[in-house]
Structures are given as C-alpha cells and as structure tokens.
Amino acid sequence: MASPNIPLCRPTIDEHELTAVAEVLKSGWLTHGPKTTEFEQLFADYLGVKQAIAMNSCTSALFLALVANNIRGDVLVPSFTFVASANAIVTAGAKPVFVDIHYHDCNVDAAALESSLTPETEAIMIVHYGGQLCEMDAIAAFAETHHLLLIEDSAETIGGLYDGKKSGSWGIGCFSFFPTKNITTGEGGMLTTSDAAFANRVRMLIGHGIDKTTLQREQDARPWFRAATTAGYNFRMSNILAAIGVEQMRKLDWMNQARRDHSAYLRDNLSDIDEIDLPVENARARHVYQMFTLKVKNGRRDALVADLVNQGIGASVHFDPPVHLHPAYAAYQTCDLPITEQVARQIVTLPMFPQLTRPQLDSIIDAIRGFFTHG
C-alpha cells in the first residue's frame, strides 16, 4: 500500500493570496504600508479591541509587551510552551517563574499562579495551548487582584473563545502567523490592546523609536524628517506579508470551523482506545485546534510517533522537553512541575489543517488503531 504522505500542517494559500502579493509587488510599496494598516484594522475589528499592531513575529510582540511596560521583575509563565515565551521574558530583562498546567487541556493551572507568586512578580504571561483559551475568568481576576500585567501568548489560538470573548482581548494579545498557525503570513506577528498610550509606545519601538511610519510621513511637508525619541528596534511587518494576512483573515472563520470538524471526526473515531487521552474542549471555551494532540498513557509515545512517521503521517511532539528542562533555563526552575513533565512525556501532535480530506483522516485513525492493536 502506498504511503499516505500526510504532512503535519499545510498553509491554506490560493489565488487570492497570490493576487494580493502580485498587486503589492507591482505597486512598488514593499515595506510597512497600506496593506499593513488594513491587516491591523481587520484584526482589531475581529477581536473587538481598539488597536492591533503588526510586526515581524509573535516573539517580538511578547518582548515589547514587557519592554513597553518596563517589566523587569518576575513573570509567571508555563513551562509547557515553545521556548520563545521564556526567551521574550529573559531578553526583556525580566525573570521567568515557571508554573504548572492542567492535565486535561495543557493550559496554566490558575491555582498554581497563587502558589508561585513572589514579592517581585510584575506580570503573568499565559499561553493558550493548541487552540484553547486558559480559564480566563480566574486568571483575569487573579491579575487584577494582585495588580499584575496580563499578557496572552495567543500564538496558537487565533479565533478561540472563552465565555464568548476572543483570545487576545483579555489582556495584551500576542499572535503568531508562522505557517503552522490558524492563519499565516509566512513569518509575522500581531500585538493587540485597547490601551492607546501603550499602543503608541509599541508602534514607536517597532520602527527604530521614530513616532511616525514612512506611510504617515508621506503626508508631511518634510517627509524625510525622522527623529527618534527613544532607542527602538526594527520589528515591522512588510506590506507584502500583510497582503497575505488580509486574505487569510477573510477565511479565518471557515478555516477554524474546518479544524473543529476534523477534530470532532478524529475524536469520535478514537474515543474507544483506552491507551490514549484525547483533547478536551472546556465547556466555556471554543477550541480552534491549531493542534490536535493526544496523550499516550502506556509509555509508548515515542514508538507511536515513529510508527506514524514511518507510514507517511507527519506526527510530532509539542512540547518535549518543557522549557524548564532546557539547559538555558535550568537555573530558573524554582518548584516541581509534575503535570508539565507528565504531559511532555505523553503528548503527540497529529496532522491538523483545513484541507485534510476524509480519506486522510481515516488513514490517521487506522494507523493509530493498528499501532495499539498490533504494535
């Protein structure tokens, strides 16, 4: 039998993105420009926030969420995340304090935040894992009670809901447009906020500390006049990538629904396998399944991944090791994280993207069933 050759992910790109990029190239305006502004407005309107600021990565958004708020103390953050979350904290001059997660949804345990609080804690950086928001009522209340900045690492959760409120609208939202995410621009990120003063600081910082963009200066009498008011960075998003983002936003809802439909089919057809735990959708949340993950309970996780890959099914693991077990972060571990380490040993990521076909889903199901029946 031929290998099914199912990748872990595949961006949903069609003639709309191709046409949009061609139009930008023909316009001659390739750097931060009109399409960037349009993308930002579409994104802000979608989330119901006042400001969305496009930039080169989610990591830059996380970094500036801290830097623009002068956070230099402790930041509570899960260890079960991609290392970029912790990297942003350290490079901003702050200190990560790792907290444990829930087993069922791999998200931050709100109760663990309380036990990890220190006199130096200034912020919480939660990570919405795989497409599902954390328990935001409890986390937002905790942040307010202790006067902590709330940052949402929403890289994996564009369009996800908790109590009807979208990811990135509870605190400072930070989003990724890497090709594995629910929408993509190839590389890129977005920061969201309803704080105008903070947004202005971020906009200045992403453009070398200059308080007007090239597009804005074109309207001035002296468009060449560029005076930095602070030392900044070059974290801008180009007009080319933003043009892709505009087209991706137009189909985000149906792409998310396709992910939900595929995930429901996988869950329905794998639910009777005792050796695995399937993802759980919290009653107050709407999961958008940037990843479909399962947990292997019998110590055979690595063997399952190898077997799927050998059959042409692009399975992977997110995330093992957790950040506190990376050599660069060993010194930052201050408490035991038993659930984090358990999940890291068990987690498997299956292929998930809108264009998956029913035969491909059936191939994934058959391969997993075959492994536990005959493996």
Burial class of residue 13 (count of CB atoms within 10 Å of its CB; 0-12, 13-18, 19+): middle
Q: Which long-range contacts (CB under 8 A, 24 or more apart) does 21-26 make?
A: 21/240, 21/243, 21/244, 23/243, 24/239, 24/240, 24/243, 25/240
Burial class of residue 177 (count of CB atoms within 10 Å of its CB; 0-12, 13-18, 19+): buried
Helices (H), the chain: 15-27, 34-47, 58-67, 84-91, 110-116, 136-145, 196-206, 214-217, 239-250, 252-270, 301-310, 338-346, 358-374
Q: Position of tokens 């735990």?
A: 277
Euclidean distance between CA atoms 193 and 44, whole angstroms: 9
Q: To the nearest 10°, the Cα dihedral for 34, 236, 242, 152?
A: -120
Give the containing element (helix H, strand E) for 295.
strand 292-296
Q: Is 181 a catalytic residue?
A: yes
Name the active-site residue from 181, 212, 251, 295: 181
Nearest to 68 by CA among 198, 195, 197: 198
Return the active site residues. 181
